[in-house]
């Protein structure tokens, strides 16, 4: 990886651009350095996703592709092994240690836990030492599987198609690979056109637009029906949604939501009966959400647990995972310059506070974006509310031209979302804010998004 000076950028951010990225941005490519994202091929994606698009994909070179294909599945397996390694297989004790509570939690885990599923999405940034993982989400409730459609739209641009061929670039379709993992969980075959119930909770803190997901799954050969858990009915040995017999339930709702529901047992009863009797596949079980709890990263990072992991696992943890600690009992946990609490108070500009159980970036506070006088109160609240503290991961910027090629390029600190399925590394997406300093949130309407292409792992580079 070559780090370049930002000589033609409107900002002074150092650049970290690999060989295919530099090749795409080479001056001799002229207008080809910015793709026309208003072509008709993008219409289907834009009808679903209305935020602005980056004018080129992000690229992984062959070495990065091989590395992530090794590291991310290994990290997912390691996360899923934590109950066995640290809690003698007691998943309930594991959940309590992570901070899970709520009137519906016991019913949710008792009724709809199941085998570990190879499915997740790592959230990464690229910095001076390579990729670092800041979160790992582990559930079928993940979003953005649909970005393979953006890859297909990009390939409809003749100039990019020619470039991709010359550079041995390809893409993985996250949704197609996820669907194969889904079929594996209940022994289904797509040739039989199984019916999948895309199942939401009665209420949801997140509004999900599943229109493109449903269309793409239909394209792959599935029959789809959308419902809530209240629409499920188990009778005669079969599960029905709106009167339609289903082969598998695709869960979009969060364990966090179910845990806060006093009537969880009653609402889950039909699905529990069908799943426990093998009448329907469940994708994914509710305990899958446990492994994506941010406190799991603290368990991986904690020096006191190093003897629980293999040398290969430790190598991956040390390279990818920034220093992360649970703030539970922070005033009594020792750190090199006092207690963990004292360190967190003192090192504001190099730390991030995150809720152990959260989603969509809610409740995250970056110390370097926080006024010094406000930090102590945020830290004290984090200690009381089951948060983690994580070392800041600096990222290197990349350049993106705008639709007007005459303008100088903007820099962007990318946030990478890379999927893992039973196939290994399974594609992803990027998002970021143009012309802005590093920002960990990327949630505002101003963030741009793009798809990911990678050099074939064994291509000559």
Give me the helices (H) in 277-361, please: 294-301, 311-320, 340-346
The one-character DSSP state at 404 is: S
- Confidence (pLDDT) at 80: 97
Q: Choose the most confident range, by mean pLDDT, from 349-363, 377-391, 445-459.
A: 377-391
332: confidence class by pLDDT, cuts 50, 70, 90: low
Query: 190 near 219, Cβ under 8 Å?
Result: no
**Residue 404: pLDDT over 80:** no
**Residue 184: pLDDT over 70:** yes
- Confidence (pLDDT) at 146: 97
- Burial letters for 410-432: b for 16+ Cβ neighbours within 10 Å, e otherwise? bbbbbbbbbbbbbbebbbbbbbb
CA 426 to CA 171: how far, in whole Å?
9
Question: What is the average per-residue pLDDT within 126-138?
Answer: 94
- Confidence (pLDDT) at 143: 87
Least-confidence region, from 352-356, 393-397, 401-405: 401-405
Give the rounded percent of residues in the chain with a pLDDT score beyond 90: 80
Q: Measured between alpha carbons, how far is residue 115 from residues 73, 182, 251 in Å?
A: 16, 13, 15
Question: What is the average per-residue pLDDT within 143-150?
Answer: 95
Mean residue pLDDT across the chain: 90
List beta partners, residue 434: 412
List beta partners, residue 2: 17
Least-confidence region, from 155-159, 231-235, 399-403: 399-403
- Confidence (pLDDT) at 437: 77
Each residue's pLDDT tens digit, 337-379: 678 999 999 999 999 999 988 665 677 898 888 999 999 999 9
Helix (H, G, I), strand (E, B) or coil at 455: strand
Higher pLDDT, 51 or 452: 452
Tokens of 176: 């197609």
412 phi/psi in degrees, rounded to 5: -150, 130
**Residue 11: pLDDT over 80:** no
- Confidence (pLDDT) at 173: 98
Q: Choose the most confident range, by mean pLDDT, from 148-162, 330-344, 385-399.
A: 148-162
- Confidence (pLDDT) at 227: 96
Q: What angle do CA 170, 176, 177 make, to 5 degrees?
A: 80
- Confidence (pLDDT) at 100: 92
**Residue 43: pLDDT over 60:** yes
**396: closest CA among 370, 347, 432?**
432
**Residue 54: pLDDT over 60:** yes
Question: What is the average per-residue pLDDT within 237-246?
Answer: 97
CA atoms within 13 A on the CB side of 411: 22
- Confidence (pLDDT) at 461: 46
**Residue 334: pLDDT over 70:** no
- Confidence (pLDDT) at 438: 67
Give the rounded percent of residues in the chain with a pLDDT score beyond 70: 91
Show me where the domains of the chain are located.
2-293+396-455
Least-confidence region, from 221-230, 298-307, 358-367, 425-434: 358-367
Q: Measured between alpha carbons, how far is residue 102 from residues 230, 252, 262, 388 in Å?
A: 20, 19, 8, 20
Per the listing, tokens 């990009």 go with: 154
CA 443 to CA 389: how far, in whole Å?
20
70 phi/psi in degrees, rounded to 5: -85, -50
Question: What is the average per-residue pLDDT within 213-224?
Answer: 98
- Confidence (pLDDT) at 3: 38
**Residue 6: pLDDT over 60:** no
Helix (H, G, I), strand (E, B) or coil at 175: helix
442: confidence class by pLDDT, cuts 50, 70, 90: very low
439: confidence class by pLDDT, cuts 50, 70, 90: low
Higher pLDDT, 416 or 207: 416
20: confidence class by pLDDT, cuts 50, 70, 90: very high
Q: Measured between alpha carbons, how far is residue 75 from residues 72, 135, 140, 312, 358 in Å?
A: 5, 11, 18, 10, 20
Check the CA dihedral 365-370-375-378 and report its sign. negative
123: confidence class by pLDDT, cuts 50, 70, 90: very high
Each residue's pLDDT tens digit, 187-207: 999 999 999 999 999 986 556
**218: closest CA among 354, 44, 370?**
44
What is the pTM for the complete model shown?
Answer: 0.93
Residues with Cβ < 8 Å from 377, sequence gap 6 or more? none
List beta partners, residue 334: 339
CA 99 to CA 110: how far, in whole Å?
17
A 10 A CB-CB count for 87 gives: 16
Query: 41 near 153, Cβ under 8 Å?
Result: yes
Query: 376 near 385, Cβ under 8 Å?
Result: no
Each residue's pLDDT tens digit, 75-99: 999 999 999 999 999 999 999 999 8
Residues with Cβ < 8 Å from 52, sequence gap 6 or more? 446, 447, 448, 449
Sheet containing 365-366: order of strands: 324-326, 387-391, 351-355, 365-366
Least-confidence region, from 273-277, 281-285, 408-412: 408-412
Torsion angle of the four alpha carbons 265, 266, 271, 272, in this order, in degrees rounded to the nearest 10: 40
Q: DSSP strand E in 409-447: where? A: 410-412, 415-421, 424-432
């Amino acid at each position: 990886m070559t780090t370049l000076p930002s000589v033609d950028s409107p900002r002074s951010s150092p650049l970290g651009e690999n060989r295919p990225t530099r090749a795409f941005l080479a001056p001799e490519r002229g207008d080809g350095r910015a793709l026309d994202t208003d072509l008709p091929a993008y219409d289907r994606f834009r009808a679903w996703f209305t935020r602005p698009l980056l004018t080129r994909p992000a690229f992984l070179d062959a070495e990065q592709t091989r590395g992530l294909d090794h590291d991310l599945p290994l990290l997912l397996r390691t996360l899923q092994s934590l109950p066995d390694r640290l809690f003698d297989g007691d998943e309930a004790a594991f959940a309590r240690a992570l901070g899970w509570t709520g009137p519906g939690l016991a019913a949710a885990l008792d009724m709809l836990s199941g085998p570990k599923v190879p499915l997740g999405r790592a959230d990464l940034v690229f910095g001076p030492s390579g990729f670092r993982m800041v979160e790992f989400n582990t559930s079928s409730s993940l979003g953005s599987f649909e970005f393979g459609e953006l890859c297909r739209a990009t390939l409809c641009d003749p100039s990019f198609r020619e470039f991709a061929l010359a550079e041995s670039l390809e893409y993985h379709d996250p949704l197609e690979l996820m669907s194969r993992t889904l079929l594996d969980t209940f022994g289904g075959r797509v040739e039989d056109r199984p019916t999948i119930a895309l199942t939401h909770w009665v209420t949801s803190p997140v509004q999900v637009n599943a229109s493109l997901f449903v269309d793409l799954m239909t394209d792959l050969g599935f029959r789809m029906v959308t419902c809530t858990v209240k629409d499920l009915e188990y009778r005669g040995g079969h599960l029905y949604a709106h009167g339609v017999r289903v082969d598998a339930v695709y869960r979009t709702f969060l364990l966090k939501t179910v845990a806060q529901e006093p009537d969880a047992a009653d609402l889950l009863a039909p699905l529990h009966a069908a799943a426990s009797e093998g009448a329907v596949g469940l994708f994914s079980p509710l305990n899958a959400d446990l492994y994506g709890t941010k406190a799991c990263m603290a368990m991986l990072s904690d020096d006191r647990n190093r003897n629980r992991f293999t040398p290969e696992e430790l190598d991956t943890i040390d390279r990818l995972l920034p220093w992360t600690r649970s703030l539970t009992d922070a005033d009594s946990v020792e750190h090199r310059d006092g207690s963990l609490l004292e360190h967190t108070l003192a090192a504001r500009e190099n730390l991030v506070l995150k809720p152990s159980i959260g989603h969509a970036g809610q409740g995250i506070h970056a110390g370097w974006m926080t006024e010094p006088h406000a930090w102590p109160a945020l830290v004290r609240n984090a200690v009381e509310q089951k948060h983690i503290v994580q070392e800041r991961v600096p990222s290197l910027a990349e350049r993106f031209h705008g639709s007007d090629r005459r303008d100088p390029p903007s820099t962007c600190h990318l946030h990478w979302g890379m999927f893992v399925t039973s196939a290994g590394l399974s594609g992803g997406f990027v998002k970021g804010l143009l012309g802005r300093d590093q920002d960990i949130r990327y949630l505002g309407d101003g963030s741009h998004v793009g798809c990911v292409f990678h050099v074939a792992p064994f291509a000559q580079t």
